[in-house]
Chains A and B, each alone.
Chain A
Amino acid sequence: MKIIVCVKQVPDAKDVRLDPKTNTLARDGVQSIMNPYDRHALEEAVRLKEKHGGMVTVVSMGPPQAEVMLREAVSCGADEVVLVSDRAFAGADTWATTYTLSMAIRKLDDFDLILCGKQAIDGDTAQVGPGLAERLQVPFVAYVRKIRECDGKAMQVERLMDDGYDLLEVPLPALFTVVKEINEPRIPSLKGKMKAKGIEITVFNASDIEADPEQLGLKGSPTQVVRVFSPELKGERAMLAGSADEQVAQLYEKLSPLL
């Protein structure tokens, strides 16, 4: 089974600060990590490989520094890693990102499955997974919490919902985004770390993936960020006192104008 995992390098959420002047993320001196949901996607891919055989290819679009994260992916079981990196990609929104990633993935061998985290913890859009599936014209399932069965042609998966889960059978190739409930990611192994040290990282630039320059980076991004700001907290708080019956009566009185 050939599995592709898309991962993103993000600032460590434990260490997030906003630049008070620009209201953008202050990235200086902030530790970069693999997006935590992507870590679960990678773990699931490695487990599928261990069970069914095959190969796990990790793809990331990002600056050259993302190499550190890609080596970490190898230490956790990835077989090969591809960095999609070019100055022309800078400023991409999710539209341009899915275009770029889809062009890169077309350059790779055929795949049976693509796994992504359900969203990245920096942008929080949750759009790249579904967008990429659309670009590649494969079936898509979000919030996968369990892969039950796989016969090589189709997969049975559980999709996490607010009030339970959906059980879906999906023909392959397909793309799933996963939630953290799907597994417990492993800690890198010693042999994995030694392999990661020596592995060659394939780098694709804009011409390698034969991309249309108009659809890349800021130029190819319809999203325009006008202003970023922290919302002001305006909620009012009231404490009710008295017996339970009295409190219910007070609450009813407060709510009744809204009914």
Chain B
Amino acid sequence: MTVDTVKNAENTPDQEQPYKELGLKDDEYARIKDILGRRPTDAELAMYSVMWSEHCSYKSSKVHLKYFSETTTDEMREKMLAGIGENAGVVDIGDGWAITFKAESHNHPSYVEPYQGAATGVGGIVRDILAMGARPLAVMDPLRFGPADAPDTRRVLPGIVAGVGGYGNCLGLPNIGGEVVFDATYAGNPLVNALCVGAMRVEDLHLAHASGTGNKVILFGARTGLDGIGGVSVLASETFDDSAGAGKRKKLPSVQVGDPFTEKVLIECCLELFAERIVVGIQDLGGAGLACATSELASAGDGGMRVHLERVPLRATGMTPAEILSSESQERMCAVVRPEDLDAFMAVCAKWDVIATEIGEVTEGDRLVITWHDEVVLDVPPRTVAHEGPVYDRPIVRPADQDALQADLPDRLPRPARDDLLPLIKSMAASPNLASKRWVTQQYDRYVRGGTVLAQPADSGMIRIDESTNRGVALSTDCNGRYTKLDPYAGAQLALAEAYRNVATTGATPVAVTNCLNFGSPEDPAVMWQFEQAVKGLADGCVELGIPVTGGNVSFYNQTGSTAILPTPVVGVLGVIDDVRRRIPTGIGAEAGETLLLLGETREEFGGSEWAHVVHGHLGGLPPKVDLAREKLLGEVLVAGSRDGMLSAAHDLSDGGLAQALVETCLIGEVGARVFLEGDLFTELFSESTARVLVAVPRTEELRFTDMCTARGLPWRKVGVVDPESDALEIQELGSLPLAELREAWEGTLPALFD
């Protein structure tokens, strides 16, 4: 094997390099040559090409994402211990506890290889949380697929669900929520987003930087192999010599293969290392592998770094330096350790049977130098790799058909006759987006570690953080891509509003936001317009709600041919609850004698609604009106209601409106209800006006609670009573739906499609 050294690169300035195949543009390649003062070596080219990719460099989104930090006020920042740019955002939740949480996409790998793509998506986000110094506590998975009955969905969905479960269950992390959404635009481009939340004591926060000349760089965890090497494989010569034992070079799929057992052991090993306080800096190896970890650690530190690449333990023979640097083999971490702590570090790794290798050290100066058997194969200023990559201000054009889309009002759609309303409640409950997701979620362990207070199908997942105080956190992720398509600015705010409301509905106070922004190609000016609008909407919304965005992820190029997915800015909101015993459950019937109240106002709003989608296949008009001031007030009332024990159940109104909320609260609570509505019954039942929550109030608390709503100016209306004797949902003037029949409709859809 001949290795392209720096010396060789200096001597062969005109050698042609496959930079285009690696995804670099002409001017990007020219800039690399400019930075280095020569052509890059194969290893350098590999490092720059992966680090300057859209995925790692955020080159198309950077100019827009800075709007998040520009709009975050000092007051919003008060509880933030780490924000955008770190592995994950960190929030102080009181009592000395810090919470870190983040979402990431693994969309494209999951389409190619559903099980492994989804599994390694979970593995990657968990390592991000671990790298902050936290114990990972729970995961959530917002998923989106093509039409539920499409043949390819049958291929993709079971694999993705099994992958999420297979990896997360084996890691011992409860899966506490997420989403499963179907829409034709996701056919050929499913979305697999994974969120992880972790906790640590405030003083244990670890940041990824390599500091202190002489400190050692340790690579630990799994061996490095050929898996997950994407475009970089073009650097491997086609006429690779036979010394590796094979006649022709064996290419492995560029989707990585996960080993959750190794990751579980790695988690426990890292936590023990943190507890011993022998880690100066730590970084996980995810996208772009060692190339990313070494350049980011060095770039964020106060010195340079020297790495002896031949020391990296391999699981394949004949790997080139470029391949080792860009391998995305899973379950690896990189740590910076003081020399005097090296033995202790190695002892902990040995206890857990984790392979750990000293691969380099922090040096004086500001260069990242990588050698291969003492020959320099890479010598770069790390900031130019990790933090000073290309930035594009791409053209933005409001789509030509946006006006026509918004003018196509749902008003023209035929409404159901009064007699058809009851059957419509049932058929809507059975439609794929509204149907029970139990087929999916029962493949996920929600109990492990004994901290899960709420999990799917609750409005938010809730985890107890501290057993002695019962302090806990709640999390919800949401996004309605149809709303975002109709109006990306409002759509992003609606996603934020829904996640915020879901968290408050369970009794927690929303405190921070993360996101996973899934969009089409940034080279399409119409997509960039959607992106820019969504970022603005989300950031402005956060200012109005007074909670910061602490981190996020961007996934572009989600499209099939020239058709982009619905713009899907998934928003995750984190809430804090002082005492998880005060949580508000979703199902009614916990207390004898409950009144059902509808909080908020119902308007005739059907643009982008589930009804228009299911019944008419229609998408047009404007999404429901955003009212963040009202969301905030509603949240305060719900949290107060939880704190004072005035609420026995609550359920947020969103897709499918009041009808769906009633169906779910009855079925989850396994008890019937009698409902009386006024006005236009169709609008009452199916409108998707926001800032509404259905609550159950014990009769003894009814007056106290409604007085509070009135005093605070929150509209409320009595819409029914819980009937413990009844096994039906009865709607006055319309008739009654037996719960058994509703359950069959709601729970039967997914098993019928996927069993």
Partners in one complex: no
Residues in B lying within 8 Å of A, measured CB to CB: none
Residues in A lying within 8 Å of B, measured CB to CB: none
